[in-house]
Chains A and B, each alone.
Chain A
């Protein structure tokens, strides 16, 4: 990131949609930001290829009306975000413009707004002392943002060791006030404010160690927590055809998951889905803290009708903000819907540059790009011994619902949890439509996570999960046999096996995202219900005829579902439970 003395300038020589070719009069760096100068605005763009004196840039705005010969100014740095207190609860576009500060009903081309509030005074208190030796990422002080202790850190860009020369005392400061003066080894002074910049495409790695995820991240969603849990700091993805429930599932995660902060990147999807969050989150309560959900949420909205190139930027902007907060020791859940739109944005550009296309005309290095993005998630030990984490879950929108397409395949290589949404399940309204057999969590194979589950839920928990998986698989096999041989072409036992798995499906896997009680299930409740279901699974029942099986299990399922809809351990809950016991007694062998 070398600073240039002279600003490089250029002139437009070609325009193909949002790809603009510029002849530059000086040095240009890959991914450098530049501005196309128009009468009343400056259109932000990014260099994506350099050939001789020609810079190929992608405009983050509409290129309507641009002409050959129009002036371009290069900024001398890559796309950067502003990091400081006041990011929480904001609604940004993909380039970190504050959408609430934009004037008018419509987005004006080239309009830019500050990411941070420069007037607001923050109640600051120092955490370090004068004379301390510090380096990038170390905590100097703290302000309270909403309720989170927001750490003011030694800027990530500073390399090497520094000494704190002076430090502001407790008091009220704006983000631009100097809160510390550092000296480097050559006694040069550096003033530190509460704001720093960081290029989004470069990971912030100011931590000591990144162990494998070993803790459970509670999401409140049974098909995830019970069946295929995600580790804190882990990665997962949700592929599924349109309408299968990707967005509803992500919204459920953002509402219920146990995290200090939720960052949602709405990447090339519907505006109304973001509006839903804008509307509901300021009202909805975080089930764990009782605070409003918006207090812990930041939204990066680059909806499908916003400039295509900024889609790519939006996921990086979101990730960089997540890394910033992780460096403060926070537990972040980052959600991106949909990473396929980002991949498509890459494809549009690559095609316009007439690059050699890979499968389905995606760029050849798609897999590498996706992998290196996912690798920025993780659980970390910071240099001061504290911990922080970014759990990342992205959605993938496979063309034609076919999971053998490049984005799904590339993501499968990068993400450790696979929550495949099935069209069949969605069609029969078995929500969430996560396929219990195809989906997996690699974290279940981690002994450190297994230990955690045993210690924190139950010694038997991992074996119960395995039992349930086996039961579901057996149920599917039984149902296939029944379909091939006919209802009375198989022993009654097959029907029992099938219906036992149906019971698990209806009671544990299916969950109504729109029911205030069913939507969110604590681990304690998940354990209670799973044990109940497994008990039934172990029971022997006597039936004369297969038709009785079907009818009987429907009654069991009905009572169990009524339990799911009732407040946990309430009178109603126990009433349904009693009914259930009665029905069980009817047939128990």
Chain B
């Protein structure tokens, strides 16, 4: 980061913690950035002339006579079309050996879109994955995370979604990404011939963890450039937001803030909302869609990170191993796309909403039957049929390796209804049953 003439320089640090330093300085602005011993830092607290900065690169090895250079401005990113196809670190510096990007400097974490200037999202994003398209249809301008255990293939699923989403730009924000996963993404995008549509800001496990705090804002500033200036459809992938939140808690705990649930800062909800709410559909056609990953520990969604996330995002996609069919499925119970009703039955076939609900209801009956079985009770004929249905449904529709068009998903669901149930057991509006129930000679 180049230095400029008006910068103020100090060389005496009063206090050093794991993530922050404190010194005496004047004329410093809140959230201003500085270099501390060559590492980027940001002002987080000012009391009189006592200024506390969070040091993104961590404070290991910083001496108390280190040089602190204030920049007189907040963190920024140079945005322009040249961002496309490039890989950057959390500070927006190239890591692909390419040149610095020339462009307009914008402050990251900038202002909020006026809600009355937003457009209601209405464009369906087909992914081919029925667990998503059929039960949890995605819409441009939506924000939605995968809730997954660390051992689940969320990065694979996310990359599939990204490539099939027909976005003009895909912006990858990696936070605590392993180097292997980083290379995985790079390869997948490369093989798909999509590299020129990708912009990537990556903090890997090899980089200091507090750096991650910059990644979402960097991604979203770049996204806003393409969505606002170029009216493009931008898809932002954020993985893993749990590691982002962990970094937040490290900083706030160093600042003696009273932690709330699960040692997360009390402001976690607002902090996450500021990021996710950047998802938007603009009237001019540009949009920002955010697909994120929130890893869970032991599937616990009541932990403060997934809990706050769920309250902010427009649904969540829950990955689960279905041992009955030995596949990873998108769990229809805990998964939800809150924007689906804007497109299903409108942008997709009319029977979509009812078919979706009926299938999930039957799947729920199957799970009750399973509980019965586990408790050692006899199953009724209906119970048996729901179990058969559930296996077919998991295999042919919920599994993440399914890749078909929505109409085919709906037809498949009707076929399964017909195979396992009577019309009255399915409880769908009569007009639809009359129209779509398969005309097999032996069906009732």
Tell me the A residues contacting B by CB distance below 8 Å. Answer: 13-17, 21, 62-69, 91, 99-100, 102, 104-109, 241-243, 268, 270-272, 274-276, 278-280, 301, 303-306, 308, 341, 344, 347-348, 351-352, 354, 357, 360-361, 397, 399-402, 427-429, 483, 486-489, 514, 546-547, 550-551, 554-555, 557-558, 561-562, 565
Which of B4-12, B87-95, B376-384 lies at the binding interface?
A: B376-384
Instruction: Name the contact of A64 in the complex, choosing from B31, B267, B353, B424 (C-beta under 8 A).
Output: B31
B382 touching A272, Cβ below 8 Å: no
Q: Does B364 contact A (CB under 8 A)?
A: yes
Residue of A at shortest CB range from B267? A348
Q: State how many angstroms separate the Cβ of B382 from the closest Cβ of chain A.
A: 6
Which of B116-124, B176-184, B205-213 lies at the binding interface?
A: B116-124
A276 touching B120, Cβ below 8 Å: yes
B314 touching A16, Cβ below 8 Å: no
Q: A14-B47, A305-B273 are in contact. Are A102 and B381 (CB under 8 A)?
A: no
Which chain A residues border B304 with CB–CB below 8 Å? 399-400
Q: A271-B113, A487-B377 are in contact. Are A401 and B302 (CB under 8 A)?
A: yes
* A272 to B29 CA separation, bound complex (whole angstroms): 33
A13 touching B310, Cβ below 8 Å: no
Instruction: Name the contact of A428 in the complex, choosing from B74, B361, B380 (C-beta under 8 A).
Output: B361
Residue of B at shortest CB range from A278? B116
B360 touching A429, Cβ below 8 Å: yes
Which among A108, A268, A489, A546 has the greatest number of chain B C-beta atoms within 10 A? A268
Q: Which 6 A-B pairs have the closest CB atoms?
A: A400-B302, A304-B273, A305-B277, A486-B377, A242-B310, A14-B47
* A305 to B288 CA separation, bound complex (whole angstroms): 15
Chain B interface size range: 35 or more
B430 touching A562, Cβ below 8 Å: yes
Q: A68-B46, A106-B113, A107-B113 are in contact. List 17 more A-B contacts (CB 8 A).
A: A16-B44, A16-B45, A62-B111, A64-B74, A66-B30, A68-B28, A91-B116, A107-B112, A107-B114, A272-B339, A275-B115, A279-B119, A280-B120, A351-B257, A429-B357, A486-B378, A554-B424
Which chain B residues border A341 with CB–CB below 8 Å? 269
Which chain B residues border A554 with CB–CB below 8 Å? 424-425, 427
Q: Does B197 contact A (CB under 8 A)?
A: no
Which chain A residues border B371 with CB–CB below 8 Å? 483
Instruction: Name the contact of A347 in the complex, choosing from B118, B260, B280 (C-beta under 8 A).
Output: B260
B277 touching A402, Cβ below 8 Å: no
Q: State how many angstroms separate the Cβ of B173 from the closest Cβ of chain A.
A: 17
B380 touching A487, Cβ below 8 Å: yes
Which chain A residues border B117 with CB–CB below 8 Å? 104-105
Q: Could you show 20 A-B contacts with beta carbons less than 8 Å apart?
A: A14-B47, A64-B107, A65-B74, A105-B117, A241-B310, A270-B314, A271-B277, A301-B115, A304-B277, A304-B312, A344-B269, A351-B257, A361-B258, A400-B304, A402-B302, A483-B372, A486-B376, A551-B382, A557-B427, A562-B430
Instruction: Name the contact of A105 in the complex, choosing from B113, B270, B315 (C-beta under 8 A).
Output: B113
Instruction: Name the contact of B115 in the complex, choosing from A99, A268, A280, A550 (C-beta under 8 A).
Output: A99
Which among A301, A361, A399, A514 has the greatest number of chain B C-beta atoms within 10 A? A399
Q: A243-B315, A272-B339, A486-B377 are in contact. Are A67 and B27 (CB under 8 A)?
A: yes
B269 touching A106, Cβ below 8 Å: no
Which chain B residues border A347 with CB–CB below 8 Å? 260, 266
* A110 to B310 CA separation, bound complex (whole angstroms): 31
Which of B61-69, B162-170, B330-338, B402-410 lies at the binding interface?
A: B330-338
Q: A67-B28, A562-B430 are in contact. Are A275 and B258 (CB under 8 A)?
A: no
A270 touching B269, Cβ below 8 Å: no
Q: Does B259 contact A (CB under 8 A)?
A: yes
A104 touching B378, Cβ below 8 Å: no
Which chain B residues border A400 with CB–CB below 8 Å? 261, 302-304, 307
* A487 to B269 CA separation, bound complex (whole angstroms): 45
Tell me the B residues contacting A by CB distance below 8 Å. Answer: 26-32, 44-49, 74, 107, 110-121, 141-142, 228, 257-261, 266-267, 269-270, 273-274, 277-278, 280, 282, 302-304, 307, 310-312, 314-316, 333-334, 336, 338-339, 341, 353, 357, 360-361, 364, 371-372, 375-378, 380-382, 424-425, 427, 429-430
Instruction: Name the contact of A303 in the complex, choosing from B269, B277, B302, B310 (C-beta under 8 A).
Output: B277
Q: State how many angstroms separate the Cβ of A44 from the closest Cβ of chain B.
A: 16
Q: State how many angstroms separate the Cβ of B418 from the closest Cβ of chain A.
A: 17
A107 touching B111, Cβ below 8 Å: yes
Q: State how many angstroms separate the Cβ of A101 from the closest Cβ of chain B.
A: 9
Q: How many A-B residue pairs have CB under 8 A?
A: 206
* A305 to B313 CA separation, bound complex (whole angstroms): 12
Which chain A residues border B376 with CB–CB below 8 Å? 486
Which chain B residues border A268 with CB–CB below 8 Å? 269-270, 273
Which among A13, A69, A106, A565 has the greatest number of chain B C-beta atoms within 10 A? A106
B259 touching A67, Cβ below 8 Å: no
Q: A427-B334, A554-B425, A562-B430 are in contact. Are A399 and B273 (CB under 8 A)?
A: no
B29 touching A67, Cβ below 8 Å: yes
* A66 to B45 CA separation, bound complex (whole angstroms): 11
A242 touching B48, Cβ below 8 Å: no
* A504 to B378 CA separation, bound complex (whole angstroms): 27
* A354 to B304 CA separation, bound complex (whole angstroms): 22
Instruction: Name the contact of B48 in the complex, choosing from A68, A270, A483 (C-beta under 8 A).
Output: A68
Q: State how many angstroms separate the Cβ of B17 from the closest Cβ of chain A.
A: 16
Which chain A residues border B380 with CB–CB below 8 Å? 487, 546-547, 550
A15 touching B269, Cβ below 8 Å: no
Which chain A residues border B430 with CB–CB below 8 Å? 562
Q: State how many angstroms separate the Cβ of B14 from the closest Cβ of chain A.
A: 16
Instruction: Name the contact of A106 in the complex, choosing from B29, B110, B312, B429 (C-beta under 8 A).
Output: B110
Residue of A at shortest CB range from B142? A272
A65 touching B32, Cβ below 8 Å: yes
Which chain A residues border B114 with CB–CB below 8 Å? 99, 102, 104-107
Which chain B residues border A67 with CB–CB below 8 Å? 27-30, 46
Which chain B residues border A274 with CB–CB below 8 Å? 115
Q: State how many angstroms separate the Cβ of A553 from the closest Cβ of chain B.
A: 11
A360 touching B112, Cβ below 8 Å: no
* A402 to B300 CA separation, bound complex (whole angstroms): 13
* A67 to B274 CA separation, bound complex (whole angstroms): 23
* A481 to B141 CA separation, bound complex (whole angstroms): 47
* A424 to B260 CA separation, bound complex (whole angstroms): 27
Q: A14-B47, A15-B46 are in contact. Are A558 and B427 (CB under 8 A)?
A: yes
Which chain A residues border B228 with CB–CB below 8 Å? 105
B314 touching A547, Cβ below 8 Å: no
Which chain A residues border B112 with CB–CB below 8 Å? 106-107, 303, 305-306
Which chain A residues border B32 with CB–CB below 8 Å? 65
Which chain B residues border A279 with CB–CB below 8 Å? 119-120
Instruction: Name the contact of A427 in the complex, choosing from B261, B269, B314, B364 (C-beta under 8 A).
Output: B364
Which chain A residues border B273 with CB–CB below 8 Å? 268, 304-305
Q: State how many angstroms separate the Cβ of A100 from the closest Cβ of chain B.
A: 5
* A561 to B432 CA separation, bound complex (whole angstroms): 14
Q: State how many angstroms separate the Cβ of A119 from the closest Cβ of chain B.
A: 20
Q: A242-B310, A276-B120, A557-B427 are in contact. Are A547 and B113 (CB under 8 A)?
A: no
A64 touching B258, Cβ below 8 Å: no
B258 touching A351, Cβ below 8 Å: yes
Q: State how many angstroms separate the Cβ of B398 from the closest Cβ of chain A.
A: 15
